[in-house]
């Protein structure tokens, strides 16, 4: 008995094979030697062999774009590489890299199938090993899918929060420069009569109440600035160029200034105007801070709604709240793609008992896939529709992307099946969505033709979880 046959006899999968079958394996196989760091097969290579590690250690991983997801590590006497062949995949969906010098026996897939048909003991052991490995790989993928989704959401939220946070910081800095000016004015006010002060206060309040709700178009803004500049120059107001944009943005016009000049002594006009513009500027900064704080509060609320933080796992929930919080979480991606979101909600829907955070994962997978399908689309659009169908609630999520090719539609809900580029998807998003919906006693299905893909989720209104 040769040393190679003795080695194969120690491999668990082949332990019950007689010597003549082991000799046949050696004749069918091909020995390969790898130095540390060398690749046995790459992700995407033809799945044409299974392997026996005669000596050494090899790591199987998948490229996830910015990192490698380690799926398994195989050592001396391990049998591996059977999953793609047994699941009907044409190509390996992972790469194998030697992490120490390796001596490997490669067995062609045709010989592997022949071995399975001849030897029930090998078939039994291979299928048992395969089942456990599938569970392990699925667990790894699901954990990675959640981490990737969390990373995507975190990046989007960071971008969404950065804008209002930056606005708050900028406005706070501006206010720190404005407040000393207001303080100085308060400590050295111009000498005005009580009636003059009341008149100025009334004019200021009138201006605030009538200030434009939206910015002026650039041409109108320039024309009004020119008008005010000429008026202020006629009145010999110094540094008029600094205050004109603020006055125009607040809706100040020449008639308002004429009213003001009738109430204020000429020697105090410049001081009063600079005070008014400083007060207007501070009011504008405070308003921007309020808007930024409200936006951050809105995002925090969306996060809590999305994750059902501080709440029991099973909730009585309004399905629309989950859809809207998911849209808020994905708002960065929607804005990036200039995607229009249309809503057609039945607001009379009954609330349902559900695992709220899990259903939000379903909406995330479906909307995120729709966003991916709309890349480079000239008029991207996603539509969300809800309605009641007898004892069930229906959620429809559709997009006007290119559609799902007919030849791959039967495989859409298969675990590990993906049409995305290597490193861009694990193929578990829709599989997880399917499992979550089924856990709720519901159904998920789709229709897809050119320029229209619709995913439907049907959930029972009354169900005991």
pLDDT digits (tens, 9 = 90+) for 313-345: 677 888 998 898 888 878 888 888 899 999 999
* Alpha carbon distance, N-terminus to C-terminus of the chain: 61
Q: Between these two residues, 95 and 190, which has the higher pLDDT value?
A: 95
pLDDT tens-digit readout, 358-403: 888 899 889 988 998 898 899 999 999 999 988 899 999 999 999 8
Confidence category of residue 310, pLDDT binned at 50, 70, 90: very low
Give the pTM.
0.47
pLDDT interval class at 42 (50, 70, 90): very high
Q: What is the pLDDT of residue 187?
A: 59
pLDDT of the residue at 275: 80
Residue 335 C-alpha from the chain's centroid:
12
Question: Which residues of 245-313 form beta strands (DSSP E)?
Answer: none
What CA–CA distance (Å, rounded) separates 37 from 302? Answer: 46
Range list for CATH 3.30.565.10 in the chain: 312-460
How far, in Å, are 56, 198, 344 from residue 37 at the CA level? 12, 83, 55
Q: Which of 60-74, 231-245, 308-322, 426-440 bottoms out in mean pLDDT, i.e. has the lowest?
A: 308-322
The mean pLDDT value for 250-279 works out to: 81
Which of 217-221, 242-246, 433-437 has the highest mean predicted lDDT (pLDDT)?
Answer: 433-437
Query: Domain 3-118 sits in which CATH superfamily?
Result: Jelly Rolls (2.60.120.10)
pLDDT of residue 176: 83
Can you name the CATH fold of 312-460?
A: Heat Shock Protein 90 (3.30.565)
Does 41 have pLDDT greater than 50? yes
With a CB cutoff of 8 Å and minimum separation 6, the contacts of 22 are 5, 8, 9, 14
Give CATH 2.60.120.10 domain extents, the chain: 3-118
Q: Is the pLDDT of residue 47 over 70?
A: yes
**Segments in 16-119 forming alpha helices (H):** 19-28, 82-86, 109-118
pLDDT at 393: 93
């Amino acid at each position: 008995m040769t040393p190679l046959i003795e080695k194969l006899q120690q491999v668990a999968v082949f332990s019950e094979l007689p010597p003549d079958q082991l000799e046949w394996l050696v004749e069918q196989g091909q020995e390969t030697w790898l130095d540390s760091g060398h690749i046995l097969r790459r992700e995407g290579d033809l799945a044409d062999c299974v392997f026996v590690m005669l000596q050494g250690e090899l790591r199987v991983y998948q490229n996830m774009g910015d990192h490698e997801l380690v799926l398994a590590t195989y050592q001396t006497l391990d049998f591996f590489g059977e999953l793609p062949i047994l699941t009907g995949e044409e190509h390996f969906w992972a790469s194998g890299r030697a992490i120490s010098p390796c001596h490997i026996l490669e067995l062609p897939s045709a010989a592997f199938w022949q071995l399975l048909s001849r030897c029930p003991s090998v078939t039994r052991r291979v299928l048992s090993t395969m089942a456990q490995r599938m569970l392990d790989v699925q667990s790894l993928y699901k954990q990675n899918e959640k981490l990737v989704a969390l990373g995507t959401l975190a990046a989007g939220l960071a971008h969404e929060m950065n804008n209002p946070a930056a606005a708050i910081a900028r406005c706070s800095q501006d206010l720190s420069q404005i407040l000393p000016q207001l303080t100085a004015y308060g400590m050295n006010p111009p000498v005005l009569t009580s009636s003059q002060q009341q008149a100025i206060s009334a004019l200021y309040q009138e201006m605030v109440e009538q200030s434009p709700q939206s910015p002026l178009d650039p041409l109108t803004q320039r024309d009004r600035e020119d008008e005010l500049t000429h008026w202020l120059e006629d009145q010999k107001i110094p540094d008029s160029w600094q205050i004109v944009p603020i006055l125009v943005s607040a809706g100040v016009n020449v008639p308002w200034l004429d009213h003001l000049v009738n109430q204020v002594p000429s020697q105090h006009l410049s001081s009063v105007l600079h005070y008014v513009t400083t007060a207007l500027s501070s009011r504008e900064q405070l308003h921007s801070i309020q808007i930024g704080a409200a936006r951050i509060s809105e995002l925090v609320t969306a996060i809590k709604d999305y994750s059902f933080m501080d709440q029991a796992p099973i909730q009585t929930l309004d399905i629309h709240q989950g859809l809207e919080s998911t849209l808020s979480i994905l708002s960065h991606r929607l804005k990036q793609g200039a995607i229009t979101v249309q809503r057609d909600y039945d607001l009379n829907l009954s609330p349902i008992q559900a695992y709220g955070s899990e259903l939000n994962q379903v909406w995330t997978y479906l909307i995120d896939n729709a966003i991916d399908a709309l890349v480079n689309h000239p008029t991207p659009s996603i539509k969300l529709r809800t309605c009641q169908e007898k004892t069930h609630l229906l959620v429809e999520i559709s997009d006007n992307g290119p559609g799902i090719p007919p030849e791959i539609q039967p495989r859409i809900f298969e675990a590990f099946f993906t049409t995305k580029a290597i490193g861009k998807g694990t193929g578990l998003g829709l599989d997880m969505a399917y499992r979550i919906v089924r856990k709720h006693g519901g159904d998920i299905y789709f229709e897809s033709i050119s320029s229209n893909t619709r995913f439907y989720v049907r959930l029972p209104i009354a169900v005991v979880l």
